[in-house]
Amino acid sequence: MFSFGEIIQKSLESVGRIEEAKLVSKDLFERKKNTSKIVDKFSRKDPEKVLNNLRLYSERFWVDYLGRTTFQKLHSDSKSELIESMVSEELIKKNILTNASQIALSFCKVIERELNISLFDPFLLEYQKCSINPIPKKISKTQKRKIESRKLTIQTCKSCANKEHRLTFGQIIFLLRFWDDKIMNESSNLFHLIGGKIGDFSELTKSVNELLDYLELKNGKLTLVDIRNSSAHPTIDDSINWDENIEWIKKLLGEPPKEILKRIVNNLREY
């Protein structure tokens, strides 16, 4: 865990940057001292099992928090990211790690992946085959902009489907926003094709719309997409309170009535 820091310390010493090397050494000393708190909490008798015990603790948390059925339905990568996020959170609480933005990023990547598994992967052929209608000539500028935004969404879906490349968080939010709406259905036959594949399309559309209400909530000025983008580039805006946003997203993931992950893996995968 500390080997990279030790390399930096030695490198600074080798080029005569002694004061900076001392600061790195002091920081490493404090972090190593704080690891004893983790050892005491999770495996005092056998320190080598600390991380394994910490991961088991994390997994139990998510099983209890999300429900066993929901947790089991998650993709293995999503389970792993949730478990490791809790490990990181414990290490940050003990001042061993510092980069909390990566926990928020992990949460957002889990939502992004599970949405793709539910609403993109099963319909790759429909995205590939769907047609896009020409924009009518005699329409207002406002109406034209609305049609263009939907056409761009369809074109993005077709392009990703042809490359078998999943949608980004922002792209899939646009897809959900335009899911089976009137202008979208006048612009493309995509949802006619999806409806033909699954039969009763109304229940799926209802579930999508209910989920979207929660996916577009804001914590202050930030949506989930904003947090996703900022956490991937945390140096862009250092004013973000990551601890606050992590707790907010965690509540979105599992607390009623939102329960985003439960809605995604249960309500959107019955088709």
Q: What is the pLDDT of residues 36-93, one digit of tens each?
A: 665 666 555 555 576 777 888 899 999 999 999 999 999 999 999 999 998 888 777 7
pLDDT at residue 200, rounded to an integer: 77
pLDDT at residue 38, rounded to an integer: 58
Q: How confident is the model at residue 174 (pLDDT cuts 50, 70, 90)?
A: very high
DSSP, collapsed to helix, strand or coil, labels residue 96 as coil
In the chain, % of residues over pLDDT 90: 65
Looking at this protein, which amino acid is placed at residue 232?
A: A
Please provide the average confidence, as pLDDT, over all residues in the chain: 86
pLDDT at residue 262, rounded to an integer: 97
Across 226-252, average pLDDT: 86
pLDDT at residue 100, rounded to an integer: 86
Tell me which long-range contacts 222-229 makes (C-beta under 8 A, separation of at least 24): 224/108, 224/111, 224/169, 224/173, 224/249, 224/252, 225/169, 225/170, 225/173, 227/104, 227/108, 228/104, 228/105, 228/108, 228/109, 228/112, 228/169, 228/170, 229/170
Across 96-119, average pLDDT: 91
Q: How confident is the model at residue 4 (pLDDT cuts 50, 70, 90)?
A: low
Query: If we measure between CA atoms, which residue out of 210, 224, 223, 201 comes closest to residue 270?
Result: 201
pLDDT of 9 above 60: no
pLDDT at residue 88, rounded to an integer: 85
